[in-house]
Amino acid sequence: MTVAKRAHAYPQVSLVAVDLVNTAVTQAPAPIAIGAALRLARKRDAAIVVVDGRCALREDLVRASLLGLDDLASTAVARDLPCVDAGAGEVTVRRLLAEGAPLVVVRDRRGPVGAVAARGATTATLPTARRVADRLSSDTRALLESIGRLAAARGARAFLVGGMVRDLWRDAEMTSADLDVVVEGDGLAVARELARALGGSVREHRRFLTASVEAPRTGRIDVTTARSERYESRGALPRVMPAGIDQDLRRRDFTINAMAIELHSGAFGLLDPLGGRAALVRRRLRVLHPLSYVEDPTRVFRAARYATRFGFAQDAATARARALALRLVPYAALSGQRLAAELERILAEARAELTLSRLGTDGAFRLLDPRYRFTASTAHLVAELPGALAWVRARGLGVEPVELGALALTGDEPQAIATAALERLAFAGEPLARLRHALAEGRALVARLRDANAPSARARVLREQAPVVLAWLWLVGDGRTRAVLDWYLGLDRALVALSGDEVVALGVPRGPAVARVLAELRDGRLDGRITDRAMEIAQVRHRVTRGG
């Protein structure tokens, strides 16, 4: 038996980057396609293929192959991985991994010698009870604690995710009141138990392992089983499989949304495996991998919405990911309903015009039709859109914002492209017919209003138009057009004193003739030729007498 001697100086073990290497790296000549690069990575059991100095992760090559992109250049999915010298200290490597890097490349004078990957599942690394106490109400904290206990009683672990976690780490007003909970275990069973405990109801979506709990005092709580996702077609909904919280966070859209707070310990420990806090500090939006937008192109719309709401910018890698996704349009598996839903969400937020303009400049509306071009005229219509929507609300026209937004985006496109874009947004039947009529006739109607000298003539132009057409006229018209619209919508709907039955009693036969007589009386009132009920009666009798 050997006993350590007191006061004996033992050498300190000081690891450097090369000692930490646990992942193989291989190099490939440029150019090499994704399919060939993936075969090489598998053959050499490498996690990274270096092509022309750029790093393509094997997991990204697999994603791309599943999406049918084997012939695409492998550099299209390259990542900006941190790279350190072989002699760099262990602390440097660990810090880079903690900031969200999936791998740290280690090199010597000859080139990459390997990489360091974090080992093991994500664990809570930062207690956040104080921040939770400062920023959430006591009722919300108590609810979160009860959810954690309820899940633990079923042998599961519950985590708070989503917008509330993101907002807790932003030094600004909380923008999300939604409770999104992820459960490691049977999330649907936890949701049912939660609904019983709160005296509410639960709606399950088994395909996606999700449920929504509605309770009188708490509102809506979304509960999801922790899951991984696999996209088997570009733009299609993914196949989901139960997984751990680490994999669940790694399937998300942006690093700022890939954080979680555990609810079972009472310490509200934060999980941040991908550097969400650092992205919030830098005010950056960063996707989790180069194919994020290809898997789900609606994330392009979400990114623009977040950029406007939070004042964030997309980093360079995210901009490249967006450009790649837009190169690959069209997305046959992407439903129009999902695109329309994203447009609705944008229009519901402040400064929607800035978000739409950003999307137009970036070329994102090519997702509606590959031929789409965002013109200066479209930019003007988008800038005027908030005013048009405010006018619609003030007038109580009942126009759906997504319909007027779709008109603003397609108003300067050729007819074929505009129609294709509207159909891509899932408009069909009567709604599609209304929008096509608005686009086809809108500017001609504005000209007719301008040329109409008599009030009755202006009213006849507007009388048979649907509310969305009136809103479109406000958007494309000038100040005079908008004044006419305000005048028309402000008219007394009971402008004519006589009823249809009274007109019949005066001798007008039932049928279309009654409507024509009432229209003549309305025109006379508008133009000032008829001013009271007696004059209306005289007008009808005169018409009957001469057999009109």
Mean pLDDT of all residues in 347-361: 97
**pLDDT at position 488:** 92
Under DSSP, is residue 47 helix (H, G, I), strand (E, B) or coil?
coil
Q: How far apart are CA 306 and CA 310, in angstroms?
A: 6
Residue 9, pLDDT > 70, answer no
> Which residues make beta-bridge pairs with 107?
85, 112
Average pLDDT, the chain: 92
Q: How far apart are CA 194 and CA 217, in angstroms?
A: 13
Q: How far apart are CA 81 and CA 56, in angstroms?
A: 9
Which of 223-227, 241-245, 364-368, 529-533 is least confident?
Answer: 529-533
For CA atoms 203, 248, 286, 363, give the dihedral sign: negative
Residue 119, pLDDT > 50, answer yes
Q: How far apart are CA 64 and CA 75, in angstroms?
A: 12
Smallest Cα–Cα separation from 286: which of 254, 258, 249, 238?
A: 254
Mean pLDDT of all residues in 440-460: 93
Residue with tokens 């077609």: 233
Mean pLDDT of all residues in 490-508: 88
Residue 450, pLDDT > 60, answer yes
Q: Specify the pairing of strand 239-242 against strand 210-215.
A: unpaired
Helix or strand (DSSP H, E) at 57 = strand 54-57
**pLDDT at position 175:** 65
Mean pLDDT of all residues in 471-484: 96
| Sheet strands (E) in 149-286 | 157-161, 179-184, 201-205, 210-215, 219-225, 227-230, 239-242, 260-262, 269-271, 284-285
- Whole-angstrom CA distances from 237 to 154, 185, 205, 389, 421 are 30, 23, 14, 32, 21
Could you tell me the domains of the chain? Answer: 17-117 (3.10.580.10), 126-278 (3.30.460.10), 370-487 (1.20.58.1960), 500-545 (no CATH)
Smallest Cα–Cα separation from 325: which of 352, 340, 303?
A: 303
DSSP 120-182: S-----EE-HHHHHHHS-HHHHHHHHHHHHHHHHTT-EEEEETHHHHHHTSSS------EEEE
pLDDT in tens, 145-173: 999 999 999 999 999 999 999 988 887 77
**pLDDT at position 475:** 97
Residue 231, pLDDT > 90, answer yes
Helix or strand (DSSP H, E) at 114 = strand 111-117
pTM, whole model, 2 decimals?
0.88
Residue 2, pLDDT > 60, answer no
Predicted confidence band of residue 503 (pLDDT cuts 50, 70, 90)? confident
Residue 461, pLDDT > 80, answer yes
